[in-house]
Each structure stands twice: as structure tokens, then as C-alpha cells.
Amino acid sequence: MMASGNPFTEPELRSLELLQSIAEANPWLEFIEQTEERIEIHVRGQSRRWYVIEAKRAMIQHFLNHNIVHNTWSLEIQGGARKRDIIHRNQYCANLCLNLRQSADLPVGDKIAALCLSLHNDVTTAMNIHLLAQFLVCPRNDLAKVMIFQDEMVVLHSMFAGRDDQDLNPPAMFDIADEQFNWDDQIDGMERGEEVPDEPVEHEHPRGTEETPPENDPPVMSEEEIEEQRLWSVYEQHMEDIARQEEWDNREP
């Protein structure tokens, strides 16, 4: 139910307040704009790539009953190798077709909050989402050739231009030839006959003196990881409150 004079429903207002609190507590999330019709968020991933989330309101009439109007939001996600790519929406900013069906029934703020946390942990999320992994390994110059990353395929601009350019073939586009990988130099060195250093020989300890293996201390969490874990707990509690409220509202009199 919408508040008087406010286009947002009460669940939407609560979810947007949660999203604002996440943005205020984390430097990797930037709340750019919020109007009655549009919301824009910028997210920095752990891969150091950037994402822009844009939510737009869409009023849809029911095809059987024209008096019923559904207030829905559509989400668009784009990714860039650098922050200025998503700010200027230049040719290096590619569309990401992410499946958001699991959060389809959530308020818009909860949808964006869950998406922000997933994109911030993009390295881990990419293990389960193939198209996000393709985006992460794609060099910046090749992002200009991509129209959209999808689960089924990567759509290139050349597919709609009628060109048959060998440089734009998808297999060649995702060759790992970025500057951070120097496999070619290592192979060339081995072909020139460079000697590979021998592995150090491990001396066995006398059997009479057995050493107790050192105990590995658990890794210390950073302040950002602790804060992110706290926000996840707040978010889960928020979702439980929404579920309980809906169960209370829908119970029979």
C-alpha cells in the first residue's frame, strides 16, 4: 500500500532505507540517484571492476482487466573495467543479462541490495554465473566489441553489422592475453634452453624427534569483511520480518 503523497509503497520505503544504510556504511557502494521513476547505484567489485545498476519504474495494465495497474520495476546492469567507463557509459561499458527471477517478488530496494552484495563479491559469484566470469576475464579493449553478455552466448556488435572479422570471433576475444599473464615469455625462455632451477631437497628429520605440526590460526577478518557480514545479518533479519508481516496480513480473520 502506498503512503499518502508518496509513489513508493511501505515495503519499498523500508527496503530503500536499508539500501541507503548499506551505501553509507560501505565505500564500495555509491547511491547516485533516487527519484520517483529511477534509481541508480554504482558498485565496485572485489575484482576492481565496476557495475552500474539502474532501476526504472514501469506501470503495466493487466491485459484482462484494464482497471488493474501493476507497479513494477525493471533492472538493468552494466559493467566496466574502470569507474569512468560506467560514469560516461562509453563503449567499454557492456550490458550484463543477469537472471533476477529468484528476487522477483521482493521490493525494489531488497532486489538492488541483494544484487549489490553479489556484484561486490563478483569473483565468488562468477563461480556460479558463467556470463559474469566471461566479463571478468574479458580485456577492456575487447569490451568495446561486446553488446551484451548472456548465459547462452556473448552478443557482439559485429553480428548486427554484417561483418566477418576474425578479430571479433568469440573464441579469440576471450584468449587470456592480458598484461597480467606472461605465459608466452615463460614458454619462450624454456625454448631457448634456460635451465629451470631444481626444487630444494627436503631433508628428513630423524625418526626419534617427531615435531608437532604447527597449528594454523584462523584468518583474521578485515573491518570491511566484518561490516559486510553484519549487513548480511541485518538483511536476512529484514527479510524474515517481511515474511512474518505478510503471513500476519494474509491470515484468515
pLDDT tens for each residue of 18-77 = 999 999 999 999 999 999 899 999 999 999 999 999 999 876 544 455 555 556 888 999
**How far, CA to CA in Å, does 153 sit from each of 60, 96, 150, 165, 214?**
30, 11, 5, 18, 48
- Residue among 227, 221, 226 at smallest CA distance from 24: 227
Q: Is residue 195 helix, strand or coil?
A: coil
What is the pLDDT, as a whole number, of residue 215?
Answer: 57
pLDDT in tens, 207-228: 555 555 555 555 666 777 777 7
210 in Cβ contact with 196 (< 8 Å): no
- Residue among 8, 229, 250 at smallest CA distance from 109: 8
Determine, yes or no, domain membership for 1.
no
Beta strands in the chain (DSSP E): 29-34, 38-44, 50-61, 69-80, 93-96, 146-149, 154-156
Determine, yes or no, domain membership for 197.
no
Determine, yes or no, domain membership for 202.
no
* Domain, as residue range, for 156: 10-192
Rounded to an integer, the average pLDDT of 170-190 is 40
Determine, yes or no, domain membership for 215.
no
Name residues whose C-beta falls within 8 Å of residue 97's C-beta, 6 or more positions apart in sequence. 131, 148, 149, 150, 151
Domain count of the fold of the chain: 1
**How far, CA to CA in Å, does 222 sit from each of 48, 50, 69, 117, 219?**
17, 21, 47, 17, 9
pTM: 0.62
Rounded to an integer, the average pLDDT of 147-154 is 91
190 CB burial (10 A radius; 0-12, 13-18, 19+): exposed
**How far, CA to CA in Å, does 144 sit from each of 82, 88, 108, 228?**
13, 14, 30, 33
> pLDDT class for 125, splitting at 50, 70, 90?
very high
- Residue among 176, 139, 123, 132 at smallest CA distance from 154: 132
Determine, yes or no, domain membership for 22.
yes
Determine, yes or no, domain membership for 204.
no
Determine, yes or no, domain membership for 234.
no
Determine, yes or no, domain membership for 14.
yes
Write out the three cell numbers for 2: 502506498
pLDDT in tens, 79-96: 999 999 999 999 999 999
